Amino acid sequence: MIEADAARNNEHFGDHRSRHEYSNKNFPTEINKAIRKIWFAYADLGYDGANGKRAKAVVDNLKMIVKFFENRFGIKIYEKRN
């Protein structure tokens, strides 16, 4: 979603550092913290196996990030299915 936001301004990233810099410059602190928690949790969740507490934190942060970008883009990214 960060790349999609940047692309709206014809910006593109060639490395992770640029992505972090863009995120820090363009998004609220709360969203940046949530994004970083998800980025850094990938290794723990992928390499250490199941970690329910960490996985729940990632899902909670993803929900917050999706809601932020739905508002920013003016579109519905996720719709709950019954």
From residue 68, alpha-carbon distances to 19, 34, 40, 43, 52 in Å are: 17, 11, 20, 24, 24
Q: Tell me the per-residue pLDDT of 7-60, one tens digit each, with 9 for 90 and over.
A: 998 999 988 889 889 999 999 999 999 888 888 776 666 555 566 777 788 888
Q: b vs e for 37-46, b when ≥16 Cβ sit within 10 Å of the residue's Cβ?
A: bbeebeeeee
Check residue 19 and give left, alpha or beta (phi > 0: left; psi -120 to 50: alpha).
alpha
Cβ atoms of 27 and 35 within 8 Å: the answer is yes
pTM of the model: 0.65
